[in-house]
Structure formats: C-alpha cells, structure tokens
Amino acid sequence: MRAFLREQSCRSSLRSSSLNSIQGFLEGHSRGYRPQTVISVKVRQVSAGPKEGILLLREASQPSNKGGTTVFSSLYREERPFFVDNTRFKGAVQGMKEKLEALKAEALAKLQEVTDPQILNDLRVKYLGKKGELTEVLRGMGGLSAEERPVIGQVANLVRSAIEEVIGTKQEIFQQQETQNRLNAEKVDVSLPGRGLPQGGIHPLNRVIQEIEDIFIGMGYRIEEGPEVETDYYNFEALNLPKNHPARDMQDSFYLTEDLLMRTQTSPVQVRTMQAMKGETPVKIICPGKVFRRDDDDATHSFQFHQIEGLVIGRNIRMSDLKGTLLQFMKEMFGPTAGIRLRPSFFPFTEPSVEVDVSCFKCGGEGCRLCKQSGWLEILGAGMVHPNVLRMGGYDPEIYSGFAFGVGAERIAMLKYGIDDIRYFYTNDMGFVKQFKGI
Ligand code: 2NL
C-alpha cells in the first residue's frame, strides 16, 4: 500500500538518517542545477529495509522580504521519485551493538587479570575515560535515528555499568589488601620493653648558683644580671679602684680596647643597679655570672669562673647584719650545724673588709684532710660598702650604709662535691658530668 505523508509527519516518522540520505541523493543528482531542498516526501515502504517515494522539491535559497511579504526568488518546484535502501542503517545499529559487546568482553577479560591498582586505573581510562573506547563507539551514534539511539544508548549504559562494577569490586579488593598490608607492616609489639630516654642533669656549677639564688630569694633578694663586657668605669673606677690601682694592671685582665674589658667581677652589675634605683632603698640583690681574669689554668685557677655577689643598702645596715645573713646562708648551704668566723681582710670596695670561713662540713670542725686539720674552710670575702662606692652609686654615705660579699661558685662546688680540679667544670668530660645526674 502506498502511504502519502505530509511534510510534518514525514519528518517525524522518517529516520533523520533517511532524510539525510535523500538530501545527499538530491545533491548527487542536481549538480549544475540550483540548490534544492526537500519540502515534502511521499514515502512507500517497499520492504523491511528499502523505501521508495516521491519528493517535492523547491529552491533552497533564502526567501527575501519585500514590503512585509515573503517572496521566494523563484517559483521553482519539482517532484522527483526516490528510492532509499536503509538496511545499511539497520546494519549500523547491529554493528554498534556488536562493537559494544566486544568491547565489554575485552574489558572484562583484561580486568579479571589485573593485580595492580595502577593498571586498573589505566584500564578505567582506556575504556571509560573521556577519550576512551566506549566514548569512541558512542560517537558513531550521530548516524543513528531518534528511535535507534535509545536502543544503543541502553546497550552502552549496560556495558558501562558492567565495566564499572568490575572496576569497583577490584578497587575495593585492592583497598582492603593495602589496608591489610599496612596493618601487617605497622604491627606494634606492645609486650616489648620501652626504650629508655637518656636523662640529663644540671651542671654542678649551675646547681650551686641555683641553690644560692634560692637561699637569697628566700631572704627577699632580687637577682640582677648584666654585661660580661664592661667599661673601665663600671668594672674599676666606680668600685673605688682608681687609675693607678695595681688590680687594673693590663696583665691581670682581658682588655678589648683601652676602655673595654671582660669583667673581672660581677660588682659592675651592682653599681649599675644602684644607679638605676636612683637612691631608693632597700637594695637587696644577688648578681651571679661569668667573670674573667688573666691567669694560667691549673687545678685551682681558671681564666674564667663564676661569681655570685650580694649587696644590701639601706639605713642602719651594720656588720651584724652581714654576719647574721652569711651565717644563715651557710646553714642553708651546708646544714644547720654550720658556723662561721670572720677574719680581717682588704678589698678596695669595702671598709672594713673580712674573709669568711665556714666550719668544716666534713669533720664538723674536728680537723680533716679537707680543712687541712684547721676545722675551717675559706668560703667568701665580704665587708661594709666603701663610702666612695656608695657615693658613686648615688647613695649618700652619711645617710645610707650597706654590706656586700662575693663568693666563687667553683670553690663551693669543689668543696661540696669533693672535686679536686677546677678544669673538670669546663672540659665536658661525660664521665664527670654524668656523676651529677639526678643529684
Ligand atoms: C671575693 C670577694 C667581694 C664585694 C665582693 C662589692 C660590690 C659592691 C660594693 C662593695 Cl657594688 N663590694 N663586692 C665585696 C667584698 C668581697 O668578693 O673573694 N670574691 C670572689
């Protein structure tokens, strides 16, 4: 039966590929003629495949618009019979299906053999990637009709999900394997004994300095520190050591310039503190730190050692205050049975000056090797602050008085810990240092 279709229904019911083909047929047969376009098709289905019919053609050029009326440049129209064998399109669908199935079979076979996550990923890109083989096959869908497309689309989706599923399963297996490998590799034997941490200790000199600081903080003192490079003024002049004083001999100190030297005592810190306090009282300070003297090192001398100096300034500060303070200091340092004795001495910055001995903590005053049978140990120097020093520090000696003392950290540590050579403190001999762990 011959079916006559109007243009609209014809376009929707005919495969676009068939129309394309009809247009192609026209172009192929109308060379040398004006371009034509199909405006209606009369179709007869000859068999399941081929179609024949009559085309109504008109000129393909654009119509012009004259005074609001659409005018075709020519009234050219032509009716022409046609014949289209569309079985090749059926073949295309069949071909695509076969291609997709072959792709699926190949992909699944290769995926089954994968043992490496990297190769798995490579295969995913190869088959499912943007430039992968599935996309490549689907690109051929452009040649299919509106009815054929969903058919191939469905097949393609099934192929895609089949490949995706295998990849997903494989990925999960690899993930589990990796987790298992890590768990095996990172196994911890909690029954193993722990590794000991190396334990350090406080250097005996720092220990002595901290102990002395603690004792004096307990008596209401503050700790002051200052520069190790000092001016001649603070190191000597302000401490009543005038220009011609023998202690200022170039041979006895490390001079950096005419005016600068490594401090020979921590007293300059005390002078600086006195000046900073601008006459306020009380001054109650402890000044610990490194000091330097030009000396040849031996068992009891070192060019560098540590000093702790103390200074108190106020009204009515007397020798008895000095004596009581130092006795308390010694009792806390060497035990409650410690006693002290004062012997006259000389320091340029104190007047009067004293040497202070403490009763031997080893024999209790009986006499032993440590105290050379005397029962006493020389421990520090002290005195009442010289009026010149008070004045240069900004305190009127007619109103204020004070006491000061100086003690060597090395000497105390050597006595306390029975160390017979001062050089042990500075040579970083582990055998020596380790003995003070945890004391
Ligand atoms: C020692 C003796 C001493 C001082 C240091 C001092 C400081 C000022 C004023 C007065 Cl600002 N004196 N210090 C006083 C007496 C002795 O040290 O044999 N040291 C190792």
Q: Where exactly are the structural domains of the chain?
A: 2-85, 90-179, 204-436
What is the per-residue DSSP string for 271-302?
Answer: HHHHHHHTT-S-EEEEEEEEEE------SS--
pLDDT at 199 over 90: no
Among 70-84, 235-249, 326-340, the least confident range: 70-84
Band of residue 50 on the pLDDT scale cut at 50, 70, 90: low
Band of residue 254 on the pLDDT scale cut at 50, 70, 90: very high
pLDDT at 193 over 70: yes
Pocket test for ligand 1, best of 309, 351, 411 (most atoms within 8 A of CB): 309
Among 86-90, 157-161, 206-210, the least confident range: 86-90
pLDDT at 229 over 90: yes
pLDDT at 221 over 70: yes
Whole-number Å distance, alpha carbon 374 to ligand 1 midpoint, is 25
In this predicted model, which residue has the larger pLDDT, 10 or 59?
59
The pLDDT score that the predictor gives to residue 16 is 44
Band of residue 252 on the pLDDT scale cut at 50, 70, 90: confident
Cis peptide before 246 (omega within 30 of 0): no
Q: Which CATH class name applies to 204-436?
A: alpha beta
How far CA 368 is from CA of 212, 360, 361, in Å, comes to 26, 8, 10
pLDDT at 70 over 80: no
> Which residues, 6+ apart, have CB-to-CB distance to 247 below 8 Å?
236, 241, 264, 348
The pLDDT score that the predictor gives to residue 2 is 26
In this predicted model, which residue has the larger pLDDT, 387 or 248?
387
pLDDT in tens, 10-46: 333 344 445 555 555 444 444 434 455 666 666 655 5
Instruction: Report the candidate in 378, 371, 381, 426 with the shortest Cα–Cα distance to residue 404.
Output: 381
Whole-number Å distance, alpha carbon 270 to ligand 1 midpoint, is 10
In this predicted model, which residue has the larger pLDDT, 300 or 264?
264
Band of residue 60 on the pLDDT scale cut at 50, 70, 90: low
Q: Does the beta carbon of 347 lie inside 6 Å of ligand 1?
A: yes
Whole-number Å distance, alpha carbon 307 to ligand 1 midpoint, is 10
pLDDT at 142 over 50: yes
Among 46-55, 274-283, 399-408, the least confident range: 46-55
Band of residue 335 on the pLDDT scale cut at 50, 70, 90: very high
Band of residue 325 on the pLDDT scale cut at 50, 70, 90: very high
Band of residue 267 on the pLDDT scale cut at 50, 70, 90: very high
The pLDDT score that the predictor gives to residue 32 is 39
pLDDT in tens, 345-389: 999 999 999 999 999 998 988 999 889 999 999 999 999 999 999
- The string over 269-286, giving b where at least 16 C-beta atoms fall within 10 Å of a residue's C-beta and e elsewhere, is bbbbbbeebeeeeebbbb
In the chain, what percentage of residues exceed pLDDT 90? 52
The pLDDT score that the predictor gives to residue 14 is 40
The pLDDT score that the predictor gives to residue 309 is 98
Rounded distance between C-alpha atoms, residue 246 and residue 123, angstroms: 93
Whole-number Å distance, alpha carbon 293 to ligand 1 midpoint, is 15
Band of residue 61 on the pLDDT scale cut at 50, 70, 90: low
Band of residue 71 on the pLDDT scale cut at 50, 70, 90: low
> Which residues, 6+ apart, have CB-to-CB distance to 21 below 8 Å?
84, 86
**Which burial class, exposed, middle or buried, applies to 45 when counting CB atoms under 10 A from its CB (0-12, 13-18, 19+)?**
middle
Placement of tokens 């003995």 in the chain: 435
> Which residues, 6+ apart, have CB-to-CB distance to 313 below 8 Å?
274, 281, 282, 283, 385, 390, 393, 395, 400, 401, 402
Pocket test for ligand 1, best of 235, 291, 347 (most atoms within 8 A of CB): 347
Per-residue pLDDT averaged across 126-149, rounded? 81
- The string over 408-432, giving b where at least 16 C-beta atoms fall within 10 Å of a residue's C-beta and e elsewhere, is bbbbbbbbeeebeebebbeeeeeee
Element (H, E) at 380: strand 376-385
Q: Does the beta carbon of 268 lie inside 6 Å of ligand 1?
A: no
Whole-number Å distance, alpha carbon 93 to ligand 1 midpoint, is 110
Q: Which two tokens stand for residue 385?
A: 């602050």
Q: Which two tokens stand for residue 326?
A: 């130092």
Per-residue pLDDT averaged across 170-186, rounded? 92
Q: Which two tokens stand for residue 378?
A: 């020389």
The pLDDT score that the predictor gives to residue 21 is 52
The pLDDT score that the predictor gives to residue 291 is 96
pLDDT at 427 over 50: yes
Q: Which phi and psi angles does 199 have, rounded to 5°?
A: -100, 130
pLDDT at 154 over 70: yes
Whole-number Å distance, alpha carbon 289 to ligand 1 midpoint, is 13
Band of residue 322 on the pLDDT scale cut at 50, 70, 90: very high
Pocket test for ligand 1, best of 287, 349, 378, 411 (most atoms within 8 A of CB): 349
Q: What is the mean pLDDT of the chain?
A: 84
pLDDT at 140 over 80: no
Residue nearest to atom 4 of ligand 1 (CA): 405
Residue nearest to atom 15 of ligand 1 (CA): 382
Rounded distance between C-alpha atoms, residue 368 and residue 347, angstroms: 30
Band of residue 247 on the pLDDT scale cut at 50, 70, 90: confident
Pocket test for ligand 1, best of 267, 275, 322, 346 (most atoms within 8 A of CB): 267
Q: Does the beta carbon of 271 lie inside 6 Å of ligand 1?
A: yes
Residue nearest to atom 18 of ligand 1 (CA): 381
Q: Does the beta carbon of 235 lie inside 6 Å of ligand 1?
A: no
Instruction: Report the candidate in 400, 398, 412, 392 with the shortest Cα–Cα distance to residue 267.
Output: 392
Helix (H, G, I), strand (E, B) or coil at 310: strand
